[in-house]
Amino acid sequence: MDRDKPKPKVVIAGGGTAGWVAAAALSSQLPNLLDIVLVESDQIGTVGVGEATIPTHRSFHALIGANETEFMRATGATFKLGIQFENWGALGDKYIHAFGQIGKAPWMADFHHLWMQAKADGFGGDLDDYCLELRAAEAGKFAISNKLNLNYAYHLDASRYATFLRAHSEKRGVKRVEGKFVDVRLCADTGFIKSLVMESGEEIPGDFFVDCSGFRAALIEKALGVGYDDWSHWLPMNRAVAVQTRATGEIKPYTRSVARQAGWQWRIPLQHRVGNGHVYCSDYISDDEAHDTLVKNLEGEMIREPRFLRFLTGRRKKLWQKNCVALGLSSGFLEPLESTSIHLFQLEATRLIQYFPFNGSNPALADHFNRLACEEFESIRDFIILHYYVTRRDDTAFWRDRQTMDIPDSLKHRLELYRHNGLVYKGEEDLFRIDSWVQVLLGQGFGTEAYHPAGRLMAPEKLRSSLASYAEGVRRTVEKLPRHEDFIAGYCAAPEQ
């Protein structure tokens, strides 16, 4: 490629977390190869519900060269070791989907098969005993050290995170244009996007465009009309009401997800406040009832009045069309049950680095990008549906309908494998690990008729001794860890605001 060839101009349409994730990724990894402009208006607010992340967030920060302590101080972040699900299997039930590895297994079978054999032999305890992150989360403990390899993510303030990424990106040459764009101009002969038309009448031309315009999808849908795959027949949640409260009590290193009458409520603890919200289906509960349910179950004083959001679960039929990639809410929406929203932003931005069309946009490149994105979206979709489908709750029409609803064939296949064989697998584009599926299935009481007999290759005494040693190692390690909030105070305490 000619070194003197002009740099392609990338125009990112919209800011917020998605826009500045794209800007940070492209500017950190492709310096001097792209001319990057981000267009956003201070008058347009951000949705700001994605305040919990998953461990891939750390990999993204390594990619862009972000310092962990600086990021955490700037965003009031806390550490996250998993999600505690309450009332999902049955009323009164509780389990944690933790980020860590469960036990140690031979190559032929995953650890839960050994544990199931142990249970059949009359010992083995709880599966939770063999996951360090889970027991640390329960105990409210956390630490980072060279000798400890906890798998963790973050709780963060999404608005502050966008500000943090903006500063990071502007240092690397990203130019920000303030203002609203009101139209999208297309090339008459190719149908490619030519420019954004600002409210002032100014045009922002570009070679490649990243649609970060949120739910309005101004480029990928309104201008290019790619269409939308509606998944509301599987995931009927269509609204949320969110509010911030003052921090109270101990800062737990996990998110809470509490199943309610027709949906669920989140609680995300930050250093300076707590994020709360109620995701629900308006076919079963009114906005007023959803609001009252949220407010009645809050801990701490509300900082401002609750805010309502509307959405349609699904994804664009294509995330890449012509010279435009949709990133963030413009690409689709999956409810934040497993905190995957920011991960998808980061994943799409990272892939764009790998597949950027320096030789011009072409169908083969776009098709490959779209195929991978489709598989990733669908894999996460199935994991979220799992939580609803394997419930044993029958106390409301909403939960009874979840048990009898149709589910995707891909999820049917997974559940049949587990039901009859105890088998769980991780596909090439799957985000969630085998241990994640096992924790939800067991946590919500979905049983299996069989398991791999690998545990029988060991004498019962040997199996008992091996499992007991592993569980004791977990217990001792957790015992020595500092309290989560004490570690935060010494490592990344945010300044008073």
Neighbours of 495 (CB within 10 A): 9
pTM: 0.96
Q: Which residues are catalytic?
A: 80
Determine what percent of the chain is predicted with pLDDT higher than 90.
Answer: 94
Once rounded to an integer, what is the mean pLDDT over residues 323-344? Answer: 96
Once rounded to an integer, what is the mean pLDDT over residues 134-147? Answer: 96
Say which CATH number the domain at 28 has. Answer: 3.50.50.60
E strands, 23-62, are 35-40
Q: Is 401 inside a domain boundary?
A: no
Instruction: Report how many domains make up the chain.
Output: 2
Classify each residue of 317-342 as buried b or exposed e, where b means 16 or more C-beta atoms within 10 Å of its C-beta.
bbbbbbbbbbbbbbbbbbbbbbbbbb
- pLDDT recorded at residue 45: 61
Task: Band the pLDDT of 5: cuts 50, 70, 90.
Answer: confident
Q: Is 138 inside a domain boundary?
A: no
* Residue 211 and residue 224 in contact, taking contact as beta carbons nearer than 8 Å: no
pLDDT digits (tens, 9 = 90+) for 351-381: 999 999 999 888 999 999 999 999 999 999 9
Q: Is 467 inside a domain boundary?
A: no
Whether residues 300 and 317 share a domain: the answer is: no
**Among 336, 361, 386, which residue terminates a domain?**
361
Q: Is the pLDDT of residue 46 over 80?
A: no
Show the domain range for 44: 9-51+157-232+313-361
Q: Is the pLDDT of residue 50 over 60?
A: no
Q: Is 102 inside a domain boundary?
A: no
Greatest Cα pair distance, the chain, in angstroms, is: 79
Q: Is the pLDDT of residue 47 over 60?
A: no
pLDDT digits (tens, 9 = 90+) for 408-447: 999 999 999 999 999 999 998 899 999 999 999 999 999 9
Whether residues 191 and 228 share a domain: the answer is: yes
Q: Is 30 inside a domain boundary?
A: yes
Residue 12 bridge partners (DSSP): 38, 210
Q: Is 494 inside a domain boundary?
A: no
- pLDDT recorded at residue 43: 78
